[in-house]
Structure 1
Amino acid sequence: MIKNDLFLRALKGETVDRPPVWMMRQAGRYLPEFMEIREKYDFFTRCRTPELASEITVQPIQRYGMDAAILFSDILVVPQAMNIEVQMKPNFGPYLPHPIRSEKDLENVIVPDVEDALGYVMEAIKATKEKLNEEIPLIGFAGSPWTILCYCVQGQGSKTFDKAKELCFTQPVVAHKLLQKITDTTIAYLKAKIKAGVNAVQVFDSWGGMLSPTDYQEFSFQYIQQIIDAVKDEAPVIVFGKGCWFSLNDMARSGAAALGVDWTCSARNARYLSGGNITLQGNFDPARLLSPPSEIKKMVTRMINDFGKDRYVVNLGHGILPNVPVENAKAFIDAVKAYKQP
Structure 2
Amino acid sequence: MGAMTNELLTPDLAAASAARRADADAPYLAAVRGEKPSRRPVWMMRQAGRSLPEYRKVREGIPMLDSCFMPDLLAEITMQPVVRHDADAAILFSDIVVPLKAAGMDVEIVPGRGPVMGEAVRTAEQIANIPDLEPDQLGPIVEGIGQILERLRTDQVLIGFAGAPFTVASYLIEGGPSKNHEVTKAMMYAEPQLWHALMEKLSPMIAHFLQAQIEAGVDAIQLFDSWAGFLTARDYREYVAPYSQKILDAVRPYGIPMTHFGVGTGELLVDLAKVGPDVVGVDWRVPMNVAAKRVQEALPDQTPKVYQGNLDPAVLFAGR
What's the TM-score, normalizing by structure 2? 0.87
| Higher relative contact order (CA closer than 8 Å, sequence separation 6+) | 1
> Quick check: 1:202 aligned with 2:222?
yes
Q: Distance in 1 between matches of 2:199 and 2:43?
A: 30
Amino acid at match of 1:238: T
After TM superposition, give the deviation of residue 233 of structure 1 in Å: 2.5
Q: What is residue 6 of structure 1 aligned with on the other side?
A: 27
Amino acid in structure 1 at the alignment position of 2:309: G
Whether the aligned pair in 2 keeps the contact of 1:71 and 1:140 (CA below 8 Å) is: yes
Counterpart of 2:231 in structure 1: which amino acid?
A: L
Aligned to 1:321: none
The CA RMSD measured in Å over matched residues stands at: 1.6
**1:171 Cα deviation after fit:** 1.2
Q: Could you tell me how far 1:9 is from its partner in structure 2?
A: 0.8
Question: Given residue 30 of structure 1, which amino acid in structure 2 is its aligned partner?
Answer: S
Residue in 1 that maps onto 2:249: 229
Q: Distance in 2 between matches of 1:16 and 1:71?
A: 22
In the TM superposition, residue 133 of structure 1 has moved relative to its aligned partner by 4.7
Match of 1:146 in 2: 166
Q: How much does 1:135 deviate?
A: 4.3
Amino acid at match of 2:146: K
CA contact (8 A) 1:191 1:231 kept: yes
Tell me if the contact between 1:251 and 1:274 (Cα under 8 Å) persists in the aligned partners: no
1:47-91 deviations in Å (ceiling 9; x for gaps): 110000000011111111111101111110112234431012222
Structure 2 equivalent of residue 278 of structure 1: 305
Distance in structure 2 (CA, Å) of the matches to 1:48 and 1:17: 35
Contact 2:114 2:177 in 1 (8 A): yes
Q: Does the residue aligned with 1:158 lie in a helix, a strand or coil?
A: coil
1:217 and 2:237 equivalent?
Answer: yes
Q: Output the CA distance in 2 between the equivalents of 1:176 and 1:190.
A: 21
Structure 2 CA distance for partners of 1:108 and 1:170, relative to 1, 3 Å? same
Distance across 1 between alignment mates of 2:273 and 2:118:
38
Cα distance in 2, alignment partners of residues 84 and 160 from structure 1:
24
**Which structure 2 residues correspond to residues 280-295 of structure 1 after superposition, within 5 A?**
280-293=307-320
Query: What is the count of residue pairs matched by the alignment?
Result: 292
Distance in structure 2 (CA, Å) of the matches to 1:54 and 1:83: 22
CA distance in 2, matches of 1:122, 1:284: 31
Q: Which residue matches 2:72?
A: 51
SS of the residue corresponding to residue 161 of structure 2 reads strand
Are the equivalent residues in 1 in contact too, given 2:138–2:212 (CA < 8 A)?
no
Cα deviation code 1:258-317 (max 9, x no counterpart):
010011111221111121831101111112321232xxxxxxxxxxxxxxxxxxxxxxxx
Whether 2:55 is the aligned partner of 1:34: answer: yes
**Cα distance, 1:139–1:231 mapped onto 2, change above 3 Å:** same
Question: Given that residues 82 and 110 in structure 1 are in contact (C-alpha distance below 8 angstroms), is that contact kept between their aligned partners in structure 2?
Answer: yes
Cα deviation for residue 142 of structure 1 reads: 0.3
**Equivalent residue runs for 1:239-254 within 5 Å:** 239-254=260-275
Displacement after TM superposition at 1:124 (Å): 1.1
Taking structure 1 as the reference length, the TM-score comes to 0.81
CA distance in 2, matches of 1:132, 1:233: 25
Q: Give aligned-pair identity as a percent.
A: 39
1:27–1:215 distance in 2 versus 1, CA, 3 Å: same
Aligned-residue offset at 1:116: 1.7
> Matched residues in 2 for 1:92 and 1:188: separation?
27
* Structure 1 residue 17: Cα displacement: 4.3
